[in-house]
Amino acid sequence: MILTSKNESDFFSCLDKIGLKERVDSEKNVLIKINLARPAQKGHPRTDTELLSDVIKYVYINRGTCAIAESANGYLRKNLEHAGLGDIISKYQVEIIDLDFEEVERLGINEEEHYLPKCLKSYGVRIGIPATSKRSQMIFSNNVKLFVGAVPRRMYQIDNKNVDWRPRVHIDLHKSVANIFCAIQKYSPFSFFINGGTAMDENKGEFKYNEILIGDDGIELDLHVLKNYYSYLEVPEYLKRLQER
Protein backbone atom coordinates (compact mmCIF):
# COMPACT_ATOMS: atom_id res chain seq x y z
CA MET A 1 0.00 0.00 0.00
CA ILE A 2 1.21 3.51 -0.86
CA LEU A 3 -0.59 6.63 0.37
CA THR A 4 0.17 10.26 -0.44
CA SER A 5 -0.40 13.51 1.45
CA LYS A 6 0.14 17.21 0.87
CA ASN A 7 -0.07 18.66 4.40
CA GLU A 8 0.36 17.72 8.06
CA SER A 9 -3.33 17.06 8.73
CA ASP A 10 -3.62 14.83 5.69
CA PHE A 11 -0.30 13.18 6.59
CA PHE A 12 -1.54 12.19 10.04
CA SER A 13 -4.74 10.81 8.51
CA CYS A 14 -2.64 8.69 6.12
CA LEU A 15 -0.59 7.37 9.04
CA ASP A 16 -3.87 6.40 10.71
CA LYS A 17 -5.11 4.72 7.54
CA ILE A 18 -1.96 2.67 6.98
CA GLY A 19 -2.22 1.30 10.51
CA LEU A 20 0.46 3.21 12.43
CA LYS A 21 -1.93 4.62 15.04
CA GLU A 22 -3.21 1.14 15.88
CA ARG A 23 0.32 -0.24 16.11
CA VAL A 24 1.54 2.59 18.35
CA ASP A 25 -1.47 2.17 20.60
CA SER A 26 -0.74 -1.54 20.88
CA GLU A 27 3.08 -1.63 21.04
CA LYS A 28 3.88 1.84 22.49
CA ASN A 29 7.63 1.88 21.71
CA VAL A 30 8.64 3.15 18.25
CA LEU A 31 12.04 3.11 16.53
CA ILE A 32 12.74 5.44 13.60
CA LYS A 33 15.73 4.62 11.38
CA ILE A 34 16.93 7.78 9.65
CA ASN A 35 19.69 8.84 7.27
CA LEU A 36 21.94 11.20 9.24
CA ALA A 37 25.39 9.68 9.46
CA ARG A 38 26.67 13.18 8.65
CA PRO A 39 24.99 16.59 8.53
CA ALA A 40 23.20 17.51 5.31
CA GLN A 41 25.09 19.58 2.77
CA LYS A 42 24.50 20.72 -0.79
CA GLY A 43 24.01 17.67 -2.98
CA HIS A 44 23.91 15.34 0.04
CA PRO A 45 20.42 15.58 1.58
CA ARG A 46 19.58 13.71 4.75
CA THR A 47 16.28 12.69 6.36
CA ASP A 48 13.95 15.69 6.20
CA THR A 49 13.78 17.37 9.62
CA GLU A 50 10.19 18.57 9.27
CA LEU A 51 9.04 15.11 8.28
CA LEU A 52 10.92 13.51 11.17
CA SER A 53 9.52 16.09 13.60
CA ASP A 54 5.97 15.39 12.45
CA VAL A 55 6.40 11.64 12.94
CA ILE A 56 7.78 12.18 16.45
CA LYS A 57 4.79 14.41 17.28
CA TYR A 58 2.40 11.81 15.87
CA VAL A 59 3.91 9.04 17.99
CA TYR A 60 3.54 11.08 21.18
CA ILE A 61 0.04 12.30 20.31
CA ASN A 62 -0.85 8.62 20.20
CA ARG A 63 0.79 7.98 23.60
CA GLY A 64 3.85 6.19 22.28
CA THR A 65 7.54 6.64 23.04
CA CYS A 66 10.12 7.27 20.39
CA ALA A 67 13.75 6.42 19.59
CA ILE A 68 15.86 7.63 16.66
CA ALA A 69 18.51 5.25 15.32
CA GLU A 70 21.41 5.66 12.89
CA SER A 71 25.05 4.61 12.60
CA ALA A 72 26.87 7.92 13.01
CA ASN A 73 30.19 6.92 14.59
CA GLY A 74 29.33 8.67 17.85
CA TYR A 75 27.97 11.88 16.32
CA LEU A 76 24.26 11.16 16.06
CA ARG A 77 23.09 13.49 18.83
CA LYS A 78 25.36 16.25 17.53
CA ASN A 79 24.06 15.71 13.98
CA LEU A 80 20.46 15.90 15.17
CA GLU A 81 21.14 19.10 17.10
CA HIS A 82 22.96 20.56 14.08
CA ALA A 83 19.82 19.80 12.02
CA GLY A 84 17.73 21.84 14.46
CA LEU A 85 16.04 18.91 16.21
CA GLY A 86 17.45 19.50 19.70
CA ASP A 87 14.28 21.12 21.07
CA ILE A 88 11.86 18.45 19.87
CA ILE A 89 14.16 15.67 21.13
CA SER A 90 14.24 17.33 24.53
CA LYS A 91 10.52 18.13 24.59
CA TYR A 92 9.45 14.55 23.83
CA GLN A 93 12.39 12.85 25.57
CA VAL A 94 13.36 11.01 22.38
CA GLU A 95 15.94 8.26 22.86
CA ILE A 96 19.03 8.52 20.62
CA ILE A 97 20.69 5.26 19.50
CA ASP A 98 23.97 5.33 17.60
CA LEU A 99 23.95 1.88 16.02
CA ASP A 100 27.71 1.86 15.49
CA PHE A 101 28.13 1.11 19.20
CA GLU A 102 25.38 -1.43 19.78
CA GLU A 103 25.85 -5.14 20.48
CA VAL A 104 25.17 -7.27 17.43
CA GLU A 105 23.84 -10.66 16.46
CA ARG A 106 25.26 -12.51 13.45
CA LEU A 107 22.83 -13.67 10.79
CA GLY A 108 23.73 -15.76 7.74
CA ILE A 109 21.72 -14.96 4.63
CA ASN A 110 22.23 -15.86 0.96
CA GLU A 111 25.90 -16.83 1.37
CA GLU A 112 26.80 -13.74 3.42
CA GLU A 113 27.05 -12.99 7.13
CA HIS A 114 25.58 -9.78 8.48
CA TYR A 115 25.66 -8.20 11.92
CA LEU A 116 22.42 -6.73 13.21
CA PRO A 117 22.06 -4.53 16.29
CA LYS A 118 20.25 -6.46 19.00
CA CYS A 119 18.48 -3.29 20.16
CA LEU A 120 16.30 -3.29 17.03
CA LYS A 121 14.25 -6.10 18.53
CA SER A 122 13.43 -3.99 21.59
CA TYR A 123 10.93 -1.87 19.67
CA GLY A 124 7.46 -3.02 18.70
CA VAL A 125 7.06 -0.56 15.82
CA ARG A 126 9.84 0.25 13.35
CA ILE A 127 9.75 3.06 10.77
CA GLY A 128 12.23 3.98 8.03
CA ILE A 129 12.57 7.63 6.96
CA PRO A 130 15.41 7.87 4.41
CA ALA A 131 16.67 10.65 2.17
CA THR A 132 16.28 9.83 -1.52
CA SER A 133 19.29 10.29 -3.77
CA LYS A 134 20.99 9.26 -6.98
CA ARG A 135 24.38 10.91 -7.13
CA SER A 136 26.96 10.56 -9.88
CA GLN A 137 28.72 7.16 -9.81
CA MET A 138 26.57 6.10 -6.84
CA ILE A 139 23.64 3.70 -6.76
CA PHE A 140 20.07 4.81 -6.10
CA SER A 141 19.50 5.17 -2.37
CA ASN A 142 16.18 5.26 -0.58
CA ASN A 143 14.19 2.80 1.55
CA VAL A 144 16.12 -0.42 0.88
CA LYS A 145 19.61 1.06 0.94
CA LEU A 146 18.78 2.97 4.16
CA PHE A 147 19.60 -0.19 6.10
CA VAL A 148 23.24 -0.35 5.08
CA GLY A 149 23.43 2.38 7.72
CA ALA A 150 21.86 0.08 10.30
CA VAL A 151 24.81 -2.31 10.53
CA PRO A 152 27.77 -1.18 12.69
CA ARG A 153 30.71 -0.18 10.51
CA ARG A 154 33.23 -1.83 12.85
CA MET A 155 31.92 -5.23 11.70
CA TYR A 156 32.49 -4.44 8.01
CA GLN A 157 36.17 -3.51 7.91
CA ILE A 158 38.85 -5.42 5.98
CA ASP A 159 42.44 -6.32 6.97
CA ASN A 160 42.07 -4.67 10.40
CA LYS A 161 41.89 -1.23 8.81
CA ASN A 162 39.54 1.29 10.40
CA VAL A 163 37.85 3.50 7.83
CA ASP A 164 34.70 5.60 7.97
CA TRP A 165 32.70 3.36 5.66
CA ARG A 166 31.92 -0.36 5.18
CA PRO A 167 34.36 -1.86 2.66
CA ARG A 168 32.97 -5.38 3.11
CA VAL A 169 29.62 -4.22 1.75
CA HIS A 170 31.34 -3.00 -1.42
CA ILE A 171 32.90 -6.36 -2.34
CA ASP A 172 29.59 -7.24 -4.02
CA LEU A 173 27.57 -4.09 -3.42
CA HIS A 174 24.20 -5.02 -4.88
CA LYS A 175 24.23 -8.47 -3.31
CA SER A 176 25.09 -7.03 0.11
CA VAL A 177 22.53 -4.20 -0.08
CA ALA A 178 19.81 -6.74 -0.90
CA ASN A 179 20.99 -9.16 1.78
CA ILE A 180 21.17 -6.52 4.52
CA PHE A 181 17.60 -5.48 3.77
CA CYS A 182 16.45 -9.12 3.83
CA ALA A 183 18.35 -9.74 7.06
CA ILE A 184 16.80 -6.71 8.75
CA GLN A 185 13.31 -7.70 7.63
CA LYS A 186 13.84 -11.22 8.92
CA TYR A 187 15.38 -10.16 12.23
CA SER A 188 13.44 -7.00 13.12
CA PRO A 189 10.93 -6.11 10.39
CA PHE A 190 10.26 -2.50 9.49
CA SER A 191 6.57 -2.07 8.71
CA PHE A 192 6.37 1.59 7.69
CA PHE A 193 8.38 3.73 5.26
CA ILE A 194 7.98 7.48 4.74
CA ASN A 195 9.54 9.49 1.90
CA GLY A 196 9.51 13.25 1.38
CA GLY A 197 11.41 16.50 1.65
CA THR A 198 14.61 17.22 -0.26
CA ALA A 199 15.98 14.61 -2.66
CA MET A 200 18.98 14.49 -5.00
CA ASP A 201 19.10 13.71 -8.72
CA GLU A 202 22.44 13.56 -10.54
CA ASN A 203 20.85 15.21 -13.60
CA LYS A 204 18.79 18.03 -12.12
CA GLY A 205 20.41 18.42 -8.70
CA GLU A 206 18.42 18.81 -5.50
CA PHE A 207 14.66 18.90 -5.71
CA LYS A 208 11.67 18.76 -3.37
CA TYR A 209 9.11 15.98 -3.34
CA ASN A 210 5.70 17.41 -4.28
CA GLU A 211 4.02 15.13 -1.74
CA ILE A 212 4.73 12.83 1.18
CA LEU A 213 4.69 9.12 0.40
CA ILE A 214 3.73 6.59 3.08
CA GLY A 215 4.12 2.86 2.46
CA ASP A 216 4.23 -0.48 4.23
CA ASP A 217 6.69 -2.13 1.82
CA GLY A 218 10.14 -0.63 1.24
CA ILE A 219 10.68 -2.40 -2.07
CA GLU A 220 7.31 -1.34 -3.47
CA LEU A 221 7.89 2.26 -2.38
CA ASP A 222 11.38 2.36 -3.93
CA LEU A 223 9.95 1.15 -7.26
CA HIS A 224 7.22 3.80 -7.04
CA VAL A 225 9.77 6.57 -6.40
CA LEU A 226 11.93 5.36 -9.29
CA LYS A 227 8.98 5.37 -11.68
CA ASN A 228 7.65 8.77 -10.65
CA TYR A 229 10.79 10.76 -9.82
CA TYR A 230 13.68 8.96 -11.58
CA SER A 231 12.00 7.57 -14.69
CA TYR A 232 15.25 7.70 -16.69
CA LEU A 233 16.90 5.18 -14.33
CA GLU A 234 16.92 1.44 -14.82
CA VAL A 235 15.83 -0.47 -11.72
CA PRO A 236 19.08 -1.11 -9.80
CA GLU A 237 20.34 -4.67 -9.53
CA TYR A 238 19.73 -4.91 -5.78
CA LEU A 239 16.03 -4.14 -6.28
CA LYS A 240 15.81 -6.67 -9.11
CA ARG A 241 17.28 -9.29 -6.78
CA LEU A 242 14.70 -8.47 -4.13
CA GLN A 243 11.85 -8.59 -6.66
CA GLU A 244 12.97 -12.04 -7.76
CA ARG A 245 12.91 -13.27 -4.16
What long-range pairs does 41-45 form, CB within 8 A, spacing at least 24? 42/206, 43/135, 43/200, 43/205, 43/206, 44/133, 44/135, 44/200, 45/131, 45/132, 45/133, 45/197, 45/198, 45/199, 45/200, 45/206
CA-angle at 230, arms to 226 and 234, nearest 5°: 70
- Report the chain's mean pLDDT, rounded to a whole number: 95
Q: Do the bridges between strand 133-134 and strand 198-201 make them parallel or antiparallel, or are there none, so unpaired?
A: parallel
For the segment 137-148, the average pLDDT, to the nearest whole number, is 96
pLDDT for 240 equals 96
pLDDT for 3 equals 97
Tell me the per-residue pLDDT of 75-85, one tens digit each, with 9 for 90 and over: 999 999 999 99
HSE on the CB side for 49, CA within 13 Å?
14
**DSSP per-residue codes, the chain:** -EEEESSHHHHHHHHHHTTHHHHHHHH-EEEEEE--SS--BTTB--S-HHHHHHHHHHHHHTT-EEEEEE--TT-HHHHHHHTT-HHHHHHTT-EEEEGGGS-EEEEEETTEEEEEEGGGGG-SEEEEE---EE-TTS--BSTTGGGGGGS-GGGG-STT---SS-GGGGTTHHHHHHHHHHHHHHHS---EEEE-SEEEETTTEEEE-SSEEEES-HHHHHHHHHHHH-TTSPPPHHHHHHHH-
For the segment 136-142, the average pLDDT, to the nearest whole number, is 94
Tell me the per-residue pLDDT of 90-124, one tens digit each, with 9 for 90 and over: 999 999 999 999 999 999 999 999 999 999 999 99
Whether the pLDDT of residue 174 is over 90: the answer is yes
Percentage of the chain beyond pLDDT 90 is 90
Domains, the chain, ordered by start: 2-244 (3.40.50.11440)
What is the reported pTM? 0.96
List all residues 6 or more positions away from 52 whose beta carbon is below 8 Å from its beta carbon: 32, 34, 68, 85, 129
pLDDT for 99 equals 98
Q: Residue 17 and residue 6: Cα distance in Å, rounded?
A: 15
